[in-house]
Chains A and B, each alone.
Chain A
Amino acid sequence: MMPVMNEPPPADQEMALEGFVTLHLPCRYSYLRMIRQSVIDMSARAGMSEFKAAQLEMAVDEACANVIEHSYGGESATLNNPNHPGLRINLMQCKDRIVIEVFDRGKGFDFETQNVVDPEEYLQHERQRGLGMFIIQKFVDDVTYERGTSSGNCLRVTKLL
């Protein structure tokens, strides 16, 4: 049987890792900068355009801020609390995409029922919440959320190059 030209490679080839970084960070907003810089660096390494990288950066920043605010109920009381699980972030560079996982061991949240406000609605009403969830969902190509896995809650975003 002749091979079919232009057939996309099998999914496992697309998902083969070409780069991997793991961050383990305190539950503090001051560390968001470090997370964003890692996303930008990984995006540049993968050859992602600056505009796409900016969208991924914003989606991950909003996701991590959401975890601190909603899953953990706010920042940890001290900067160096060894008992606080904090955030663990896997940044994975694959052939045609970047996948980023944000793990936490907070109470999690119901992803399906989170308040999502689109910008049109946002502009029509007085300041409200929910734009962050819109950004997480719209600025990446895929987003999944698993609550209470053995590794904790996991928000996974995928952005194609």
Chain B
Amino acid sequence: MRECQIKHETVATVDILRLDGALDAYSFPRLEQAFTQLRDRQRNRIVLDCANLDYINSASLGALIGFARRVREQGGDLKLAALTPKIFSIVELLGFDKMLQIFPDTHLAVSKFSQG
């Protein structure tokens, strides 16, 4: 269980945030900061690579929902990719899979943006 590191990568018009570690009350400000930077740069096509995300708390889930709403208003989207079974079970149990598009891997999530 590690502190969360967020690495940012850009593939054409899509921004990928690679989450590594745990998103909890301690690391939550890093997620907010990453979203703020994307918003300031008016980037609205975002993929969260969750392959190495081992925990997410309610505040971070709330931030994902709020950010997804915002980018959709601008014609973009926030997609989740490569969730571990543990994280997926929590997201599904809370019904957030109805609100957020989830893909088995990051490549597929990025390609969905180019399909319109």
Find B57's partner among A40, A58, A127, A139 (CB 8 Å cutoff). A58
Tell me if A29 and B25 are in contact (CB < 8 A): yes
A50: B residues at CB distance < 8 A: 85-86
B side interface size, CB within 8 A: 26
Tell me the dominant secondary structure on chain A's binding face. helix
Judge whether A6 is part of the interface by a CB distance below 8 angstroms: no
Judge whether B108 is part of the interface by a CB distance below 8 angstroms: no
Tell me if B1 and A65 are in contact (CB < 8 A): no
Q: How many whole Å from A37's CB to the nearest CB in chain B? A: 5
A57: B residues at CB distance < 8 A: 55
Those of B13-29 within 8 Å (CB) of chain A: 22, 24-26
Judge whether A54 is part of the interface by a CB distance below 8 angstroms: yes
Decide yes or no: A36 and B22 within 8 Å by CB, A127-B63, A131-B61 being known contacts. yes
Find B90's partner among A32, A36, A54, A65 (CB 8 Å cutoff). A54
Those of B38-72 within 8 Å (CB) of chain A: 55, 57-59, 61-63, 65-66, 69
Tell me if B66 and A126 are in contact (CB < 8 A): yes
Cα A40 to Cα B85 in complex, Å, equals 15
Cα A29 to Cα B96 in complex, Å, equals 25
Contact flags (1/0) for B59-101 with A, using CB distance below 8 Å?
A: 1011101100100000000000000011001100111101100
Tell me if B3 and A33 are in contact (CB < 8 A): yes
Q: What would be 25 A-B contacts, judged by CB atoms less than 8 Å apart?
A: A28-B26, A32-B24, A33-B1, A33-B3, A36-B22, A36-B24, A51-B85, A51-B86, A54-B86, A54-B90, A58-B55, A61-B24, A62-B57, A62-B58, A65-B24, A69-B25, A122-B65, A123-B65, A123-B98, A123-B99, A126-B66, A127-B62, A131-B62, A132-B57, A139-B93
Besides the contacts A58-B57, A127-B66, what 5 more A-B pairs have beta carbons closer than 8 Å? A30-B26, A33-B1, A65-B59, A123-B65, A131-B94
